[in-house]
Amino acid sequence: MRAVLAVHGGAGKWVTDGETHRNVRRALEDALLEGFKAYHSGSSLDMVVAAIEVLEDSGVFNAGVGSTVDASGSISMDAGLAHRGRAGAVTCVRYPKNPIKLARFILEKTDHVIVAGVAADVLARKIGLEPHPGPSQRVLELYNNFIVRLKRGESVESPFKRSLETWLSMGDTVGAVAIDRSGTLAAGASTGGVFLKMPGRVGDSPILGAGFYANECGAAVATGIGEYILLTHATLKIVEAMCSDIAPEKAVEKILSIITSRFGSNTAGFIALDRLGRVAGLYNTRAMPWGYISDEGTIRVLGI
């Protein structure tokens, strides 16, 4: 049994200059390296959490420090994990710098699957998680530009669409899947949600079987428009297909074709990993930065 870790930085347009391209690649490589350090002394869960923490801290992606804002101008984040038949998730949290750490606490230390909102933030404080620094300058500029257009009397639909397209050009949800040498699989996702979403909106990332899923057969995580991923139970279906000995690439192709036919292109992307250590990353957007590392030590970064 070989250990494998794969990560993604979100499906979207990803209109990048040279510097952004380098930052994205560096963040993915750092996440893979840090996650694989955990493999030597820990489990697939340790690998996934360590990798996502790096992506949350990078500020490059729409998760953790780089999270976007909702329509009120506030950050509201989601995260979820699956491992050994258990799941832990948080939604609509504002306090923790790393929502993935709070999701792990829910998985390992409580009897629940999802904890939401203010109560989750209180829990994050109680267990000593680091506080979020607030929206980045880039996010605030996007939000303020949108508000200016509204005050000018421009129609809501037009600036919302332009703002959303601008955000999608920069990145989306982050996620990771891993298998350790014992054959145990894990999956995790973290996001700041859709730019200018309605406050209180919950996407796919904290929902088991939508944004993330793992069992003894495989693991998968999603990125894209959360409502569409929720409506198709995407990652559950991908992993169920792998349980029928369908290769990860074929399993993802099937659900991605369903989403594309129902909702159109530029809507979703996935990474998936099966119990044999086979990995796949597919998307119907312009790009989806993703990569993987195995115990052979080689890192591959794709999809930028």
Asked if residue 201 belongs to a known ligand binding site, the reply is: yes
- From residue 224, give the alpha-carbon distance in Å to each of 23, 95, 297: 21, 24, 29
Q: Please count the structural domains in the chain.
A: 1
172 is in an annotated binding site: no
Contact 223, 234 (CB under 8 A): no
Catalytically active residues, by annotation? 173
- Write down the mean pLDDT value for the chain: 90
Residue 201 CA to residue 217 CA, distance in Å, equals 31
Express each pLDDT in 39-61 by its tens digit: 888 899 999 999 999 999 999 99
List, for residues 19-37, the tens digit of each pLDDT value. 888 999 999 999 999 999 9
Write the CATH number for 252.
3.60.20.30
pLDDT digits (tens, 9 = 90+) for 234-246: 999 999 999 999 9
> Annotation-wise, does 225 bind a ligand?
yes
pLDDT in tens, 152-180: 766 545 434 554 454 444 457 999 999 99
Q: Return the closest-CA partner of residue 190 out of 75, 89, 116, 60.
A: 89
Tell whether residue 202 is among the known ligand binding residues. yes
What was the pLDDT predicted at 158?
A: 42
Q: What local confidence, expressed as pLDDT, does residue 160 receive?
A: 42
Specify the amino acid at residue 159: P
Q: Quickly state the pLDDT bin for 277 (edges 50, 70, 90).
A: very high
Query: Sheet holding 174-179: strands in order across?
Result: 114-116, 86-93, 77-83, 185-191, 174-179, 4-8, 290-294, 299-302
Domain that holds residue 120: 4-302
